[in-house]
Every structure is written in structure tokens, then in C-alpha cells.
Amino acid sequence: MLDIRWIRENSDKLDHALLRRGSTPQAKAVLEIDRQWRESQTQLQLIQSERNKASKKIADAKSSGVDVQQLVKHVSELKKDMQILETLERNLSQDLKSQILNLPNIPHQSIPDGSGEENNIEIRKFGLPGNFSFTIKDHVELGVAFGLMDFESASLISGARFVSLKGDLALLQRALSSYMLTLHTEQHGYIEYSVPYLVRDAALVGTGQLPKFSEDLFCTTSGLWLIPTAEVSLTNLIREQIIDGSSLPLRMTAHTPCFRSEAGAAGKDTHGMIRQHQFDKVELVSIVTPDDAESELERMTVCAESVLRGLELPYRVVELCAGDIGFSAVRTFDIEVWLPSQNCYREISSCSNCGDFQSRRMNARYRSSGDTKGTNFPHTLNGSGLAVGRTLVAVLENYQNQNGSVTIPEILRPLMGDKKIIELHD
């Protein structure tokens, strides 16, 4: 959430940032509501002061035996005016909060301008796409041929864009998530958490999914929401707290299912496992001081990259342009893995620095060592480390063999009973 004081002093910067994101300027509308709200507060204070004075006059008049009927009438009228103003002030305050909650974060000044992914900038690459001497298959052809990837049965249970995995593919998915968690906890210093999959409105407001993106989420009849990412649960662990600055950075990870209605992505990537309503992901979250945020973003990206390096999968890292970064992000690096069937790189992780945008929405603060009074908002970061389903897709496609089998990456074999290959069975 943006600070209203910053908006008052930097309206031009806000509108410029919104234009960079491809949105329309909104500073004028926000500041008009802010003006009305502050004016209503001033009027309320003036009437309150007048009412207090009138009440004192009534007390003085009664002690002197003077008729107070007109004064009582005046106080009653002031009370009615106050009630009207209190309602107006409350409504304006809610309108202002709603306006601010719907404003995206301010893009970092260093990120490239642009309106979409075609304007993103490649930072680095790892590995080279394989040269296949045979006609390659996509992950659906491979999984269905194994008899281990079932979209039809899943659709009978849940509808389109769900899948059921069994046997070696279910084992491969479990091995991938276990490998990711072990890597991040043992080598990268993240603490593993088991977190709720159902959250209240406030948690999603805190990380920026609500109120703007409700259509992309699943809500239960009880009013709880299914998490679209473990970022929501992990980041909100510090909500409404003042944490000790000496404990920073906090680095957290969790493996959870993620649920997305993908209302804004209709018609895109509906084939196979690329974009589903339910998928597994290992999430990384960091809570840091403002001074450490940029270096932490680089660190988090490298941690996520190391998963693909261990699997020896070709990938590249791109920096997103201002028109392509997420709502809560200041700066974002996407990691894109090579998918042979599509002959291109596809996103498998998105690592973002959100600045103090989320901590303000959560009212999460920290106190520096020796500071007994002042507090500051920490900066929050999140990234996929990685999306498990898409990693499985990448393994199947990049490790496929001419006979239709799939070689298991060496690093995963101890997690799969030392199995070396997934084979076709008659």
C-alpha cells in the first residue's frame, strides 16, 4: 500500500509510475477524496469544539438559574450535525482506503520501460537446449503414453484444467518438491514452514491479491479463500507485529498446493499442466531491511536458479519491464526454463522485491537495535523455488528419449529409489 503522505507530495511521480505500468493516472482522483476526507475531519473537530463550549455554557447557566432551553436546543442540533459528519468522514475514509488499496506499487526506477513481455531484458542463460535427433513429444503425450498422467478422470472429478498423476510421475513430483525444500533449507538458509491453505480476506489484502484480483481466486462458502501461493500465508506471519530488527533477514519456505481460477488468463496455456487451477509450488519469502532488499532479490533469484542447475535444465533469467511486473512488485526477475515442445523458454519462477508495499498493508514493522521508540516497515520479497508442476513438465520434455522413455535426472534418483528411467510398459 502506498503512503497517502507520499502521494500528496509526489502526485506527479505516482501518475508517471502508473503510466509506466500501462495504467491511467489516478493521483487527482485520490487527492480529491483525500481533500474531502480531511475537510470533513476539520469540520467535525470544529463542531465538536463548539458543542463542548455550548455544553459548558449550559452547566454555567444552570448554576446561575438562567433558562437553558435555547442552549440545549443548539447542542441537540450540533449533535445531529456531528452524526451526519461522522458518517461522511467514515465513508470518505473507506473510499480513500479503497482507492489506495487498488493502486499498484511504484516500479523501481532502474527497470526497463515497456508494455509487455516483449520488452523484458534477458540477464543471463544457463545450459543449451538439447538437439534431439527424433520427433519430440510434449509432456502430455509422454505422460499419457506412460498411463501415469490422467486429465480425463481428473476432469470428471473437478472439471477442466486438473490432472491426476500416479506411479512414477507422482513419485517424480514428490521427489522434485523434496529436492527443492532440502536444497533451500540445507544450503540456502531458508526455514521450512507448514502453513494454512485457507486464509481470511485480510491476509490477501496484505499481500495485494485483494481487493483487485478477487476473480483470480477461489472463495469458500465460509468466506475463507484458497491460497494462490504460499507467499500469502508466509508473508502474513509477520502481520500486525513489531519484530526485532536484529532477527532480519527472515527467510522462509513452504511447499503447498496453490489454487487459481485464472479468470484473467482465459484461453492461454490450457493444454496440459502449464496453467492449471491447482498446482504445487515451493515458495520462498524473505523479510529484510530496506537497505538489504536489492541484494536479497539477487540472492533469492540465484537460490531459485540453483534448482534448475542441479537438474541440469536449460534456462534463462529476464528482468521484467514496468508494464509486465506484478501489482505488488517494485522489481522482478523471471526464471524461464526451456521447453522443447514449445521451442521456447517458459516462466517457472518469478522473484520479486515488493519494497514496503506489503508490510504497510499488513501493518508489519520492525524496530532497529537500540531504538526504543521508532519503527520502520520491512521490505518483503517472494519467489517460486520452483513451481513443481512446471518443473516436472520440463524434466519430462528435456530428458525424453527416442523410445518414449524419460531419463530421471541424476540428482533425483536417490529420492526415487535409485530409479534411473521411466519406461513405457506394454
| pTM of the full structure | 0.93
Query: What's the pLDDT tens digit per position in 141-181?
Result: 999 999 999 999 999 999 999 999 999 999 999 999 999 99
Q: Please check whether residue 108 lies inside any domain of the structure.
A: no
The chain-wide mean pLDDT, for the chain, equals 94
Q: Are residues 129 and 238 in the same domain?
A: yes
Q: State how many domains the chain has.
A: 2
| Domain housing 395 | 117-422
Q: Are residues 93 and 156 in the same domain?
A: no
Query: What's the pLDDT tens digit per position in 199-224?
Result: 999 999 999 999 999 999 999 999 99
Q: Which residues pair with 124 in a beta bridge?
A: 317
CA pair distance 404, 87, nearest whole angstrom: 69
Q: What is the pLDDT of residue 60?
A: 74
Q: Are residues 247 and 312 in the same domain?
A: yes
Q: What is the pLDDT of residue 267?
A: 54
Check: CB of residue 311 under 8 Å from CB of residue 348: no
Q: What is the pLDDT of residue 248?
A: 97
Q: Are residues 61 and 144 in the same domain?
A: no
Say which CATH number the domain at 138 has.
Answer: 3.30.930.10
Query: What's the pLDDT tens digit per position in 360-417?
Result: 999 999 999 777 779 999 999 999 999 999 999 999 999 999 999 999 999 999 999 9
The number of residues in the chain equals 426
Q: Please check whether residue 166 lies inside any domain of the structure.
A: yes
Q: Please check whether residue 312 lies inside any domain of the structure.
A: yes
Q: Are residues 153 and 229 in the same domain?
A: yes
Q: What is the pLDDT of residue 78?
A: 87
- Stretch 241-254: mean pLDDT, rounded? 97
Query: What's the pLDDT tens digit per position in 57-101?
Result: 777 776 666 677 777 788 788 888 889 999 999 999 999 999 999
Based on its alpha-carbon atoms, the radius of gyration of the chain, rounded to whole angstroms, reads: 27
CA pair distance 404, 382, nearest whole angstrom: 37
Q: What is the DSSP string of 110-136?
A: TSPP-SSGGG-EEEEEES-----SS--
Residue with cell 505488488: 328
Return the active site residues: 260, 275, 347, 350, 390
Q: Are residues 144 and 8 in the same domain?
A: no
Copy the grid coordinates of residue 417: 529409489
Q: Are residues 74 and 186 in the same domain?
A: no
Using 50, 70 and 90 to split pLDDT, how confident is the model at 125? very high
Q: Are residues 309 and 207 in the same domain?
A: yes
Q: What is the DSSP string of 53-71?
A: HHHHHHHHHHHHT---HHH
DSSP code for 107: P
- Stretch 218-243: mean pLDDT, rounded? 98
Q: Please check whether residue 109 lies inside any domain of the structure.
A: no
Q: Which residues have CB under 8 Å from 288's CB, separation 6+?
A: 248, 249, 250, 296, 378, 379, 380, 381
Q: What is the pLDDT of residue 56?
A: 80
Q: Are residues 267 and 370 in the same domain?
A: yes
